[in-house]
Amino acid sequence: MTDLMKGFTPEAFASDAGDADAMLDTLHDPSAWPMFTVPLAGGFAIIVHFNSGEEFTTRDYFLTHPDWSQNLVLSSDDQDRIGPGLCWPELAALLEAPPGAAGVAGSHARLLLLLPVLGDAAVAEEAVTAVVEVMVAHGAPEASGALARHLLRGYPTWGAEDWWFDDDEQSWPCKGDHSPRKVPLGDHLPPQQHAALEACLTPR
């Protein structure tokens, strides 16, 4: 999220600069390696993992399920540059947490935590409205449409890319050179698990 904020001061988000620095110190602490779980429907989850080294911190976003032997990488800002991992219709569908799930449940926190995975060249105006509502709810200036559009331009490493809906696969492929979504997500999974993944990510 910090790279998305370049060009804006913490005050634009109604945050104190000292508090922002303290939070960054926590996220970038080489001994901490914070991790957040964003629960999804059907037992799926997105794991956000901060990997803090001596010189810099990278963020990995993994799509997981208890029945899988290997997680899927949605995005990573390390030297391999993997992303974007979600288009706006998918992210919008993930804002509401399933009832009773453990982890990050609030729709505002989920939007802000998953925003760096987004990279959609055709983001709808509803996305701008959603980001503005989140920032206003947390004390940011009401005239924050320009900031919302900046945050929705995509992570600087890969930016915004073109997506389209594949009716046969019932999923959203991405044209980005660095995106893991150039092929249908989870196409190696058994049919039942693949169908569950489609139902989890694809708005009906």
Domain range summary for the chain, segments of one domain joined by +: 3-201
Distance, in Å, from the CA atom of 116 to the CA atom of 1, rounded to the nearest integer, reads 6
Taking each helix axis from N to C end, the angle separating 107-114 and 125-137, rounded to the nearest 10 degrees, works out to 120
> What is the rounded distance in angstroms from the CA atom of residue 179 to the CA atom of residue 23?
29
CA 23 to chain centre: 19
pLDDT confidence tier of residue 102, bands split at 50, 70 and 90: very high
pLDDT band at 154 (very low <50, low <70, confident <90, very high): confident
> How many Å apart are CA 204 and CA 93, to the nearest integer?
9
- Rounded mean pLDDT of 12-36? 67
pLDDT tens digits along 67-96: 888 899 999 987 778 999 999 999 999 999
* Residue type (1 letter), 95: L
